[in-house]
Structure 1
């Protein structure tokens, strides 16, 4: 691990030293492309909005000896941000096991406006500058439009869908977990906004627990140790993390594999890469 971080530090240092090199206009107009990746446009008939899907296929997908192989799929909320990170952390062969699918914000909309609407499960009138409560319709779009498109076009293992989300994307994943857990076999929640609408997620979980004794999913949750009110956060994310972990553990759900970590030294913006990496390393042990 030290060797890996030393390599990263050296690479960054060399990049900074090369910062004085002037780039010509043709070089600036020739952007870097992520290997094995492409995009698909999807016009949602259910939502009446257009989205873009960022797709990355594992290396070897097109190899002759792989044509009968079916792959897990990792779905990512906030695709314009999370897809690039997920591509990086899954670059090495030991982590390059799944098809990546990042879902964009709605076409033509402000990203924050789009995600607040799509990732929140109920209307919260305290968000006066945003629309909220669109998560049920957004999940329906994923289930009935995104899944069929991906599973019809690529060799996927429909028993191994995974969902990863950060912040509101993390609380969206938590909401899916306790309302329609069967849609995904594994979940990675980083810095989930469990505080939304006065800890509404605990109400959803309580409803689920009153009707079920099993929860068949592998769940990893990570929150940064610096995500506290003492460090400037409006809501204590660490407290929410610990309480939600304790709640799930106390249920004794059959089939639930649960692991959580408060990541030392990270804040709300730096937890996702580490949390995603650790979560996938743990989940991929069974793949």
Structure 2
């Protein structure tokens, strides 16, 4: 088990578009000339600077059973953890290279040690080691493989593998959950899922196949359009076999994630409409024990909405002693 370090620009890269997956190493600008001889500063990577370390974090290594896939599991404990003997709810976040440091900071600042958001153990689920985030998430977060149809090998489906959400779901349930329960004072009856984009599609898939894995679902900008709305087939299958769906679900999306007149509006699928239809469809089933709601967040688009939605979602899922934020 190791502490989590932030090394290089790639760890905080935005994960939600393939154009953002490449990062370059920054060089220190050349020194200003102070005499006849002008020299360049050495490259940052040559100066052996210590990495930034996130306090209160740990890294666990896991190999997914039956595969050669090696994953890490990142854990961040709240400041109050060492001061008590209590158990804590657990928030699991996908796309952890982006979401983990952000959610950790939101818990610490906005949460105010349980005042606005109940303290929780944060678990990050980063990509498979050795793969780009695009390749790992395209495979692990999607419930079907659109590449079976050669006519659909378009730019939107540019990864090499898709459709292994079931295997990734089972890896989390059978390996990640026991690891967290074994090493931490985790209340495994109060697990919260949080995802965005394809990560949220994965959360929707878990909701419709093994809903009891999590008690609450924060689904941000879910990519329900994927593979001709394949997720709706899973919804229909679940509805055909169940009258109960024991889960609390809150969905969020940016107002510009739909077709519209401005440059900020989407030129692709109507994700706002998809989310609202998904909500109405689940509500129409009249499942017992299901709460589902949604919010369209003003002045936000797909890439920038996550900080807003995860703040709202955490206050909804784990309200603190005084969840009303002031000043």
Structure that is richer in helix per residue:
1
Q: Does 1:184 align with 2:201?
A: no
Determine the C-alpha separation between the residues in 2 that align with 1:166 and 1:129. Answer: 18
Query: Which of 120, 141, 152 pairs up with 1:119?
Result: 141
Q: How many residue pairs were aligned?
A: 264
Which residue of structure 1 lines up, in the alignment, with residue 311 of structure 2? Answer: 277
Determine the C-alpha separation between the residues in 1 that align with 2:158 and 2:87. Answer: 45
SS in 1 for 2:319: helix
State the TM-score, normalizing by the size of structure 2.
Answer: 0.76
Query: Which of 55, 63, 79 pairs up with 1:43?
Result: 63
Q: Does 1:206 align with 2:236?
A: yes
Distance 1:60 1:286, change over 3 A: closer
- State the 1:235 CA deviation: 1.1
After TM superposition, the structure 1 = structure 2 runs for residues 255-270 of structure 1, keeping only pairs within 5 Å, are 255-270=289-304
Determine the C-alpha separation between the residues in 2 that align with 1:238 and 1:27. Answer: 48
Q: Deviations over 1:36-86 (max 9, x none)?
A: 1121121222332111111101112122xx22x111111111111111111
Which residue of structure 2 lines up, in the alignment, with residue 88 of structure 1? Answer: 105
Query: Which of 46, 58, 62 pairs up with 2:82?
Result: 62
Distance 1:81 1:169, change over 3 A: same
After TM superposition, the structure 1 = structure 2 runs for residues 109-188 of structure 1, keeping only pairs within 5 Å, are 109-125=131-147, 126=152, 127=157, 129-188=159-218
Q: Does 1:74 align with 2:107?
A: no
Determine the C-alpha separation between the residues in 1 that align with 2:283 and 2:62. Answer: 38
Q: Deviations over 1:115-174 (max 9, x none)?
A: 000000111113354210111111111111111111111111111111111000001101
State the TM-score, normalizing by the size of structure 1.
Answer: 0.86
- State the 1:88 CA deviation: 1.6
SS in 2 for 1:248: helix
- State the 1:285 CA deviation: 3.2
CA contact 2:245–2:289 (8 Å) conserved in 1: yes
SS in 2 for 1:192: coil
Determine the C-alpha separation between the residues in 2 that align with 1:115 and 1:164. Answer: 15
CA contact 1:58–1:96 (8 Å) conserved in 2: no
CA contact 2:118–2:318 (8 Å) conserved in 1: no
Which residue of structure 1 lines up, in the alignment, with residue 16 of structure 2? Answer: none
Query: Which of 288, 295, 304 pairs up with 1:254?
Result: 288
SS in 2 for 1:62: helix
- State the 1:28 CA deviation: 8.2
Distance 1:128 1:35, change over 3 A: closer
Which residue of structure 2 lines up, in the alignment, with residue 17 of structure 1? Answer: none
Q: Choose 155-164 or 227-236, whichever is displaced more.
A: 227-236
CA contact 1:75–1:161 (8 Å) conserved in 2: yes
Q: Does 1:32 align with 2:52?
A: yes
Q: Which has the larger radius of gyration?
A: 2
Determine the C-alpha separation between the residues in 2 that align with 1:28 and 1:247. Answer: 56
CA contact 2:97–2:126 (8 Å) conserved in 1: yes
Determine the C-alpha separation between the residues in 2 that align with 1:285 and 1:128. Answer: 40
Runs of 4 or more above 3 Å deviation: 22-28
SS in 1 for 2:257: coil
CA contact 1:47–1:137 (8 Å) conserved in 2: no
